[in-house]
Amino acid sequence: MSGAALQTKVFADAEALAAAVADAFATLVDATTASPFTVALSGGSTPKRLYELLAAPPRRERVRWDAVELFFGDERSVPPDHPDSNYGMAKRALLDRVTVRAHRMPAEMDDADGYARLLAERIAKRRDGFPVFDLVLLGIGEDGHTASLFPGTAALAERTRWVVMNDVPQLHTRRMTLTYPVLNAADRVWMLIAGAGKRAMVAECLAAARRGDDPPPRPIVGVRPTAGELVWHLDAAAAGSPT
């Protein structure tokens, strides 16, 4: 798969965005010959709505869940039943409603190396020595972070490890996250971004991404798949433009 230029897709609102991505996901899984079809899930309100739509008819029946294997792009250092857990959110929105294999990040145990070993065991394809996800879902924070790659944190400089525990002093916390080399090895990276509160950051980061600014001025700009596709899915409020 050859690398593609950054693409943007704009939808009327967050609901239309989630519905379109849900349909695209179902179509992609149906057409895939990969076994399993590996996906790194994201936290956040827009992905949550995507998961709810995938877990409900008619899309639930359209997706070949037995061909899908789910992982996570990042996780907070909390137990899986904690309200702030990305896994917990995905479990309530999706995993409790479909039969699919899913692997949570044990961030509360600080076991980044264990999750890397899991990726090595479960994902056979490699690109430049890194595991290749069929699809990575990501969002953006108001500071331009994505996954748990936050401005000014050590994980931004990681070029060899697949998964790290990242100290985030501005939030007084520690999180587990996939690193740039893994995100950028993916066959597909889909950004899911909605809301007027993201508009200024989206404009700044899209401009920097299109220029290829190096070093990336914001963490999300460092997500540049080496041989896969990169699509920013935006609602009109985040894009600051009509559909």
**pTM exceeds cut of 0.95:** yes
Q: What is the mean pLDDT of the chain?
A: 96
The radius of gyration of the chain from alpha carbons, rounded to an integer in Å, stands at 17
Other Cβ atoms within 10 Å of 129 Cβ, number: 9
Range 85-88 contact pairs with CB under 8 angstroms and sequence separation of 24 or more: 86/41, 86/42, 86/43
- For 177, the token pair is 């996250």
| Per-residue pLDDT tens digits for 133-160 | 999 999 999 999 999 999 999 999 999 9
Confidence at 83, pLDDT banded by 50, 70, 90:
very high
